[in-house]
């Protein structure tokens, strides 16, 4: 027989033929196969090379714990490294490649590491490569990284989609074996909302792999009956291909649903994987138990595998691990493998049982008691075994069973440690409270009847527990079997990290006696499988080496995630253009039509400049400034935060928020306000207008809008709850535009209804409710950031684009230009208005030249702390203007100010340029700067030192108002 | 005491010639999208133009405001805070009506242009929403007419159950396009109609 | 972690932002002699193991400021009240 496919049985669809390649070689398998089972059925046992020694490796398990058979799955942008062949569902066109081998899996030069293996003992990196120190980074590490390792990641973008989703339930059942099915059925019949999740491609857990009977039918058929009932219930959600990977505070579980990993490529409308956050009122851990390997010489030769895995390959996948097998066990469950293999027509040479006696049924297979396998012979496949009494047996596969470990991981994710149970020789879950309980073999109940009963009882939400079906129990008796010390070959404890049984006593001898230290020194329990198979053996061996009990040694820390999770699943859909939402202003289309270049400001897209053909940003912004100052310009300022503040105490509340006073503001007027933090530093600024006695509308800077809103909510609710005030963001209700320049009034007059605009009807700092364009309600403010005679007009957002177009039309005769934030910024630097560069979280009101705004007549946030010595020191850096002495010189933002005679050094630092602009009005570069005691130094010449860019020039300190110091234009 | 100026003409003007333009006008294209097997699982409709008004009770007036709003079928929008929405009202009409009716007991702010309401309906509506919100939308937990404030795809959403399988999602106008692109993508696997 | 918002019901922690110890009280005096109290209020915070009353802003929900009482060692949440009610009760949850 060239094939190792059994003639009958298994849950595979023999009518299907799936073609796949492994290391470029073509194979076929069937629907229902995993990559591992299909390779075994094709007689391929060699699936990878080991991490350190490059030893040939095959599958150890048939499930999630697989440490050896890690492959690179798929290719191109879909390539996924370190994929467990035991979990990969076979599909037509599957491409897999082995890892960590060169030039080929069959002939790997790295295997010479095995010859030098005495070097590669525990801690070898630390011992060998520490000297000379400089060699580590440049020589040792790159070589080691190249030789030792796992698969490689694709450097191409992942073309597939990932999703995130929430689910809610009364009962989450994790695992769909006999325990899980009973728990889910009990909960579902109680009427609760139930989610049943299982990492397997099909639900049924161990019942898919074992030959046993429940309620007089095969376990498989019984499971199908229960699943059919569950599927018919509207309160039940069945989630196969879903691995619950973490248990978090609040009984929230993280789960990865592999929606489309089993097809060659997902439909363009579907995700590859979905990360679920399941909020469960209660949950049952029915994850089952994991069989342990045994440490003996050559226990990693391809063909040596867990006894339960060998059964699974035969029973579920109809794939024979060999033609002639030996079973090595220290407990009764190995006998099932011998019987099952024999039933499939595979020759079983013998059961090697380390114990003196056993009541288990050997099914006629010879049992060699009180003996163990010392060594396996063979390289890339098993040739035979040598027992501790030196008996030699020829065989081509070995099934091993060191006992069973309940899968406790999830129960330990929130910090509790599992407890050692001497009766079953395994760690059982800690007490985790009522909301999350373990059941069945995950809780250490190792008989089928116990599992069914425990599931029924733990799953019941209300009323009486479910009736438990009858079944026949397999024998379960176990004796310690960790390490065959008579072995001469390498006896691996942790396959994936190539750590051997001898490494642990060595670690203990060298002082690393604590399990957490021994783990890190030997690397046992690390990497993708996190010691699922090897940890208990390692703990037992370390216990013996240190003279402690297993309980005293304890386990390492269990952390999420139970199995490796793709980064894509964590990112979900929030990549590329969904990385963060985009916020568009109501004038976006208008600006876009006029060729605006947009800039991200927080989430907002703001029009930055409006270039004409051939203009760069500076030419465009300069033209916009000149046109505005000489005629009229229009700018989108909708992004400023706008908050409706209403109520009897609205004025009193604003008085607490701002350092200046608003309760005295007249209705119909606006006032500039400065807000401090409680530590006395300036927080935000903006104008607030009073629309009625009990109604203000305040504005915030674009950047701080959300934070200021949160600060208001805090101030009112936590600090001043006695105030009768309400506040709500109306930022998005209004499209707001600044219309600035000597022709701004003439322009707006053409669109305002029934109002003759003059200094009397709309005086400086007026705030009026008006209508425009034949009845559109609007708010008209006479405010100026540019220093020009200027207005801000707000219209309801849906009219925004039309209103802006109408203003442009109205201003056409005056040469109106749209201007962006670059021109806005130039004009404010020309006028010495402070903005983000100066309101930078380190400056006080006095630093900004606004000290007089601080009221002494009321309590407000920041008042007391602003009085501190350090914040009132006259040597503090305060806002000044800086101009280059040679008008042609360029100065740049961030450059430092030094005294003229000082050497360029930060020790001589006097301050820095916080905002720099090219002034088209003055034809030179100008700046605002924060300079020590700057106000007293106007006229002083200083060095402007840009150490970062290697540039230096001479500048002069001046008044921050560079242009129109008398504010003639504002009132023109 | 400063004196309130006379209300401008807008306060009384009922009709405006300018049409309102939805921020989703160019984005929410009618038709069928996504997976095309069988009936679409989800349907989207942009409810526009709408009148949307925020009402916040003044200190101690929570019950009075709740009682006064009963005829308006208010949607809960936070502690002592509601949205009142209506179709087919003139510009500012609902706002003016409520401002006058609730004078002294509540703050009223017009948000008609500031928010966009997207209605999602269909058998898979809940499955789509579960990709964004942690709120449990099972009918036992979220009854007809119930509202919740939540976040979906980093965007604040005011969500209201308006039918067995129908929900209104109200988002700030500036996020509407981004949110629309995200939520329709989440519906692709079920196939969706835009009406 | 789940937080029982008194307005919105139980919501995951991702919807909240935190501002630390809620038991500190803002001084009422603006007398320079009270500066020490202000220093304590603005800067001094304990970092207790065990029960802790903490300001939480339900920024992704109703936008109310809340006080969440939780165990800093076990993450057990004992309760959650509005900051307004907490302030009115004199800083007790």
Q: Does A678 touch chain B (CB under 8 A)?
A: no
Q: Which residues in chain B are closer than 8 Å to C13, comparing Cβ atoms?
A: none
Q: Which residues in chain A are closer than 8 Å to C19, comparing Cβ atoms?
A: 714
Which residue ranges in chain C fall short of pLDDT 50? none
DSSP category for residue A430: P
The CATH code for residues A648-724 is 3.30.70.1400
CA A70/CA A60 separation, integer angstroms: 11
CA distances from B90 to A598, A774, B18, B25, B118 (A): 34, 14, 12, 20, 20
CA A739/CA A54 separation, integer angstroms: 73
Which chains neighbour B (Cβ–Cβ under 8 Å, 3 or more pairs)?
Answer: A, C
Structure tokens at B96: 């003016």
Mutation choice for C interface testing from B59, B79, B171 by most C CBs within 10 A? B79
Q: Do A279 and C84 touch (CB under 8 A)?
A: no
CA A486/CA B175 separation, integer angstroms: 70
pLDDT at B6: 42
| pLDDT-wise least confident of A798-802, B71-75, B87-91 | B87-91
Residue A125 pLDDT level (bands cut at 50, 70, 90): low
Q: Is the pLDDT of residue A377 over 70?
A: yes
CA A372 to chain centre: 47
Query: Nearest Cβ partner of B79 from C7, C14, C15?
Result: C7
What is the distance in angstroms between the Cα of B78 and the nearest Cα belonging to chain C? 5
Residue B66 and residue B105 in contact, taking contact as beta carbons nearer than 8 Å = no
Q: Which residues in chain C are closer than 8 Å to A864, comparing Cβ atoms?
A: 27, 30, 34-35, 38
Q: Do C15 and B150 touch (CB under 8 A)?
A: yes
Q: Report the percentage of chain B scoring pLDDT > 90.
A: 89
C10, closest residue in chain B (CA to CA): B135
What is the distance in angstroms between the Cα of C53 and the nearest Cα belonging to chain B? 22
B151, closest residue in chain C (CA to CA): C60
| pLDDT tens digits for range A741-766 | 999 999 999 999 999 999 999 999 99
A605, closest residue in chain B (CA to CA): B174
Greatest C-alpha distance within chain B: 68
What radius of gyration do chain B's Cα atoms show?
Answer: 18
Residues forming CATH 3.30.1360.120 domain(s) in chain B: 24-49+113-195
The pairing of beta strand A641-646 with beta strand A695-700: antiparallel
Q: Do A279 and C87 touch (CB under 8 A)?
A: no
Mutation choice for B interface testing from A160, A161, A165 by most B CBs within 10 A? A165
pLDDT at A242: 98
| pLDDT tens digits for range A433-442 | 999 999 999 9
Q: Do A586 and B130 touch (CB under 8 A)?
A: no
Q: For the domain A160-290+404-467, what is the CATH superfamily, name and number?
A: FAD/NAD(P)-binding domain (3.50.50.60)
Q: Is the pLDDT of residue A165 over 50?
A: yes
Q: Which residues in chain A are closer than 8 Å to B27, comparing Cβ atoms?
A: none
Q: Helix A617-630 and helix A821-830: axis angle, to 10°? A: 60
Give mean pLDDT, residues A377-399: 97
Q: Which residues in chain C are closer than 8 Å to B78, comparing Cβ atoms?
A: 7, 62-64
Q: Do A710 and C59 touch (CB under 8 A)?
A: yes
Among the CATH numbers 1.20.1250, 2.30.29, 3.40.50, 1.10.10, which is that of A492-553? 1.10.10
Q: Which residues in chain C are closer than 8 Å to B79, comparing Cβ atoms?
A: 7, 62, 64, 82
What is the distance in angstroms between the Cα of B151 and the nearest Cα belonging to chain C? 6
The predicted model scores a pTM of 0.94
Q: Does C72 touch chain A (CB under 8 A)?
A: no
DSSP category for residue A90: P
| pLDDT-wise least confident of A49-63, A325-339, A607-621, A916-930 | A49-63
Residues 6+ apart with CB under 8 A from A303: A45, A58, A321, A322, A378, A381, A382, A396, A397, A398
Residue A108 pLDDT level (bands cut at 50, 70, 90): confident
pLDDT at A394: 98
How many CB atoms neighbour CB A233 within 10 A? 15
Q: Does A720 touch chain C (CB under 8 A)?
A: no
Q: Is the pLDDT of residue A148 over 60?
A: no
Q: Do A733 and B109 touch (CB under 8 A)?
A: yes
Chain C residues whose C-beta sits inside 8 Å of any chain B C-beta: 7-9, 11-12, 14-15, 60-64, 82
Q: Do B150 and C62 touch (CB under 8 A)?
A: no
Q: How much is the mean pLDDT over chain B?
A: 92
**Cα–Cα nearest to B125, from B193, B171, B78, B176:** B193
Give mean pLDDT, residues B9-16: 46
Q: Do B151 and C7 touch (CB under 8 A)?
A: no
Query: Nearest Cβ partner of B156 from C9, C12, C60?
Result: C60
DSSP category for residue A178: H
Which chains neighbour A (Cβ–Cβ under 8 Å, 3 or more pairs)?
Answer: B, C
Q: Which residues in chain C are closer than 8 Å to B134, comparing Cβ atoms?
A: 11-12, 14-15
Residue carrying the six token digits 């101009």: A883
DSSP category for residue B4: P
Q: Do B79 and C64 touch (CB under 8 A)?
A: yes
Q: Do C12 and A678 touch (CB under 8 A)?
A: no
| pLDDT tens digits for range A270-301 | 999 999 999 999 999 999 999 999 999 999 99
pLDDT at A3: 86
Q: For the domain A583-639+733-822, what is the CATH superfamily, name and number?
A: Probable tRNA modification gtpase trme; domain 1 (3.30.1360.120)
Residues 6+ apart with CB under 8 A from A358: A332, A335, A367, A369, A475, A477
| pLDDT tens digits for range A804-834 | 999 999 999 999 999 999 999 999 999 999 9
Q: Does A716 touch chain B (CB under 8 A)?
A: no
Which chains neighbour C (Cβ–Cβ under 8 Å, 3 or more pairs)?
Answer: A, B
Query: Nearest Cβ partner of C1 from A250, A714, A864?
Result: A250
Residue B8 pLDDT level (bands cut at 50, 70, 90): very low
Q: How much is the mean pLDDT over chain A?
A: 95
CA A926/CA A919 separation, integer angstroms: 7
Q: Do B79 and C60 touch (CB under 8 A)?
A: no
Q: Which residues in chain B are closer than 8 Å to A777, comparing Cβ atoms?
A: 8, 10, 13, 91-92
Give mean pLDDT, residues A235-263: 98
What is the distance in angstroms between the Cα of C37 and the nearest Cα belonging to chain B? 30
Q: Which residues in chain C are closer than 8 Å to B149, comparing Cβ atoms?
A: 8, 61-63
Residue A418 pLDDT level (bands cut at 50, 70, 90): very high
DSSP category for residue A119: G
What is the distance in angstroms between the Cα of B71 and the nearest Cα belonging to chain A? 23
CA C64 to chain centre: 12
C82, closest residue in chain B (CA to CA): B79
The pairing of beta strand A13-22 with beta strand A94-98: parallel
Query: What are the residue ranges spanned by the domains of chain A?
Result: 160-290+404-467, 492-553, 583-639+733-822, 648-724, 874-972
CA A95/CA B41 separation, integer angstroms: 34
CA A650/CA B159 separation, integer angstroms: 29
How many CB atoms neighbour CB A516 within 10 A? 13
Q: For the domain A874-972, what is the CATH superfamily, name and number?
A: Aminomethyltransferase beta-barrel domains (2.40.30.110)
Per DSSP, which regions of A821-863 are E strands?
Answer: none
Q: Is the pLDDT of residue A504 over 80?
A: yes
Residue A102 pLDDT level (bands cut at 50, 70, 90): confident
Among the CATH numbers 3.10.20.340, 3.40.50.10860, 3.30.2270.10, 3.40.50.300, which is that of C2-24+35-41+49-88? 3.30.2270.10
Environment class of residue A553 by beta-carbon count within 10 Å: exposed (0-12), middle (13-18) or buried (19+)?
A: buried
| pLDDT tens digits for range B123-180 | 999 999 999 999 999 999 999 999 999 999 999 999 999 999 999 999 999 999 999 9
DSSP category for residue A619: H
Residue A37 pLDDT level (bands cut at 50, 70, 90): very high
Q: Is the pLDDT of residue B4 over 60?
A: no
CA A486/CA A484 separation, integer angstroms: 5
pLDDT at A638: 98
Residues of chain A numbered 769-798 and touching chain B (CB < 8 Å): 769-771, 773-778, 796-798
Residue A123 pLDDT level (bands cut at 50, 70, 90): low
pLDDT at B12: 43
Give mean pLDDT, residues A6-26: 97
Compute the count of residue pairs across chains B and C with CB atoms less than 8 Å apart. Answer: 29
| pLDDT tens digits for range A861-912 | 999 999 999 999 999 999 999 999 999 999 999 999 999 999 999 999 999 9
Q: Do A721 and C64 touch (CB under 8 A)?
A: no
| pLDDT tens digits for range B99-122 | 999 999 999 999 999 999 999 999
The CATH code for residues B24-49+113-195 is 3.30.1360.120
| pLDDT tens digits for range B48-88 | 999 999 999 999 999 999 999 999 999 999 999 999 999 98
Query: What are the residue ranges spanned by the domains of chain C?
Result: 2-24+35-41+49-88
The CATH code for residues B51-111 is 3.30.70
B159, closest residue in chain C (CA to CA): C61
Q: Do B91 and A277 touch (CB under 8 A)?
A: no
């Amino acid at each position: 027989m060239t094939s190792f496919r059994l003639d009958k049985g298994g849950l595979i669809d023999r009518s299907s033929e799936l073609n796949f390649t492994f290391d470029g070689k073509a194979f076929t398998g069937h629907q229902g196969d995993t990559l591992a089972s299909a390779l075994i059925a094709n007689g391929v046992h060699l699936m990878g090379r080991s991490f350190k020694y490059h030893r040939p490796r095959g599958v150890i398990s048939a499930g999630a714990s697989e440490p050896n058979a890690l492959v690179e799955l798929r290719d191109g942008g879909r390539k996924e490294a370190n994929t467990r062949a035991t979990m990969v569902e076979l599909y037509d066109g599957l491409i897999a490649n082995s890892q960590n081998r060169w030039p080929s899996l069959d002939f790997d030069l790295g295997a010479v590491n095995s010859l030098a293996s005495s070097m590669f003992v525990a801690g070898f990196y630390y011992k060998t490569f520490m000297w000379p120190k400089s060699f580590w980074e440049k020589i040792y590490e790159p070589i080691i990284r190249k030789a030792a390792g796992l698969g490689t990641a694709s450097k191409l973008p992942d073309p597939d989609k990932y999703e995130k989703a929430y689910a809610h339930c009364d009962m989450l059942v994790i695992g769909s074996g006999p325990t899980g099915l009973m728990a889910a059925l009990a909960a579902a019949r109680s009427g609760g909302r139930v989610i049943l999740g299982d990492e397997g491609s099909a639900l049924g857990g161990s019942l898919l792999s074992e030959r046993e009977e429940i309620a007089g039918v095969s376990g498989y058929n019984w499971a199908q009956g229960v699943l059919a009932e569950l599927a018919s219930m509207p309160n039940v959600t069945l989630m196969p291909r879903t691995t619950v990977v973490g248990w978090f505070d609040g009984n929230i579980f993280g789960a990865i649903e592999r929606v489309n990993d089993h097809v060659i490529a997902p439909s363009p409308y579907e995700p590859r994987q979905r990360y679920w956050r399941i909020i469960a009122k209660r949950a049952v851990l029915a994850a089952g138990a994991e069989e342990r390997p045994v440490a003996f010489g050559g226990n990693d030769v391809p063909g040596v595998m867990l006894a339960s895995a060998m059964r699974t390959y035969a029973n579920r996948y109809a794939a024979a691990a060999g033609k002639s097998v030996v079973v090595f066990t220290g407990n009764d469950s190995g006998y099932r493998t011998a019987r099952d293999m024999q039933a499939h027509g595979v020759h079983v040479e013998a059961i090697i049982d380390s114990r003196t006696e056993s009541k288990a049924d050997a099914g006629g297979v010879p049992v060699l008691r009180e003996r163990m396998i010392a060594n396996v012979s063979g390289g890339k496949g098993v040739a035979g075994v040598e027992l501790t009494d030196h008996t030699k047996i020829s065989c081509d596969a070995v099934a091993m069973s060191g006992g069973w470990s309940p899968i406790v991981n999830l129960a330990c994710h929130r910090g509790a440690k599992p407890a050692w149970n001497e009766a079953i020789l395994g760690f059982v879950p800690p007490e985790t409270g009522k909301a999350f309980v373990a059941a069945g073999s995950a809780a250490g109940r190792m008989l089928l009847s116990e599992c069914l009963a425990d599931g029924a009882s733990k799953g019941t939400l209300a009323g009486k527990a479910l009736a438990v079906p009858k079944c026949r129990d397999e024998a379960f008796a176990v004796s310690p079997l960790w390490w065959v010390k008579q072995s001469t070959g390498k006896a691996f404890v942790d396959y994936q990290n190539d750590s051997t049984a001898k490494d642990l006593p060595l670690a203990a001898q060298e002082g690393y006696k604590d399990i957490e230290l021994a783990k890190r020194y030997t690397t046992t329990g690390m990497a993708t499988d996190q010691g699922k198979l090897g940890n208990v053996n390692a703990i037992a061996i370390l216990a013996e080496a240190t003279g402690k009990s297993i309980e005293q040694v304890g386990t390492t820390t269990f952390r999420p995630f139970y199995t490796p999770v793709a980064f894509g699943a964590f990112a979900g859909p929030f990549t590329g253009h969904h990385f963060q939402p985009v916020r568009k202003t109501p004038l976006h289309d208008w600006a876009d039509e006029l060729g605006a270049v947009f800039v991200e400001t927080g989430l907002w897209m703001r029009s930055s400049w409006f270039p004409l053909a051939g203009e760069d940003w500076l030419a465009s912004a300069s033209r916009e400034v000149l046109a505005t100052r000489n005629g009229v310009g229009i700018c989108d300022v909708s992004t400023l935060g706008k908050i409706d503040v209403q109520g009897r105490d609205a004025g009193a509340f604003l008085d607490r928020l701002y350092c200046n006073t608003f309760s005295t503001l007249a209705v119909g007027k606006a006032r500039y306000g400065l807000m401090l933090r409680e530590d006395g530093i300036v927080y935000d600024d903006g104008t607030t207008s009073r629309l009625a006695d009990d109604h203000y509308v305040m504005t915030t800077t674009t950047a701080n809008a959300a934070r200021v809103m949160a600060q208001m909510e805090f101030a009112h609710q936590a600090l001043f709850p006695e105030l009768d005030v309400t506040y709500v963001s109306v930022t998005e209700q209004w499209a707001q535009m600044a219309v600035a320049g000597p022709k701004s009034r003439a322009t707006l007059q053409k669109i305002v209804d029934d109002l003759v605009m003059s200094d009397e009807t709309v005086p400086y700092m007026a705030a009026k409710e008006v209508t425009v364009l034949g009845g559109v309600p609007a708010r008209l403010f006479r405010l100026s950031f540019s220093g020009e005679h200027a207005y801000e007009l707000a219209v309801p957002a849906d009219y925004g684009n039309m209103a802006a177009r109408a203003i442009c039309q109205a201003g056409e005769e005056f040469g109106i230009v749209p201007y962006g934030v670059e021109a806005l910024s130039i004009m404010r630097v020309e006028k010495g208005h402070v903005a983000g560069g100066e309101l930078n979280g380190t400056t006080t009101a006095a630093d900004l030249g606004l000290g007089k705004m601080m009221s002494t007549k009321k309590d407000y946030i920041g008042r007391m702390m602003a009085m501190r010595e350090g914040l009132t020191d006259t040597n503090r850096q305060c806002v000044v203007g800086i101009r280059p002495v040679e008008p042609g010189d360029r100065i740049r933002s961030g450059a430092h100010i030094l005294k003229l005679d000082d050497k360029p050094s930060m020790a001589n630092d006097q301050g820095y340029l916080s905002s720099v602009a090219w002034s088209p009005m003055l034809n030179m570069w100008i700046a605002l700067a924060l300079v020590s005691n700057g106000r007293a130094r106007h006229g002083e010449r200083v060095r402007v030192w840009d150490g970062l860019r290697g540039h230096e020039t001479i500048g002069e300190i001046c008044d921050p108002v560079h242009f129109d110091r008398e504010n003639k234009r504002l009132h023109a | 005491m400063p004196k309130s100026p006379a209300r401008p003409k807008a306060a009384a003007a009922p009709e405006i010639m300018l049409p309102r333009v939805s921020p989703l006008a160019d984005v929410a294209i009618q038709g069928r999208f996504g997976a095309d097997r069988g009936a679409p699982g989800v349907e989207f409709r942009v409810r526009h133009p709408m009148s949307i008004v925020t009402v916040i009770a003044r200190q101690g007036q929570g019950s009075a405001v709740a009682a006064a709003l009963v005829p308006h079928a208010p949607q809960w929008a936070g502690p002592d805070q509601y949205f009142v929405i209506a179709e087919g009202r003139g510009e500012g009409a609902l706002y003016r009506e409520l401002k006058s009716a609730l004078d002294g007991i509540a703050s009223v702010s017009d948000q008609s242009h500031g928010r966009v309401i997207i209605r999602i309906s269909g058998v898979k509506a809940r499955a789509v929403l579960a990709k964004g919100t942690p709120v449990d939308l099972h009918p036992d937990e979220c009854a007809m007419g119930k509202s919740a404030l939540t976040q979906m795809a980093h965007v604040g959403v005011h969500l209201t159950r308006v039918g067995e399988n129908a929900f209104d999602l109200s988002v700030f106008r500036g996020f509407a396009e981004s949110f629309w692109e995200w939520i329709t993508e989440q519906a692709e696997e079920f196939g969706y109609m835009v009406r | 972690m789940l937080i029982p918002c008194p307005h919105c019901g139980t919501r995951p922690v991702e919807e909240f932002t935190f501002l630390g110890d809620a038991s500190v009280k803002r001084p009422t005096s603006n007398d320079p002699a009270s500066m020490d109290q202000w220093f304590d209020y603005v800067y001094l915070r304990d970092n207790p193991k065990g029960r802790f009353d903490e300001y939480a802003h339900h920024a992704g929900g109703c936008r109310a400021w809340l006080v969440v009482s939780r165990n800093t060692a076990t993450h057990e949440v004992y309760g959650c009240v509005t900051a307004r009610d907490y302030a009115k009760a004199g800083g007790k949850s």
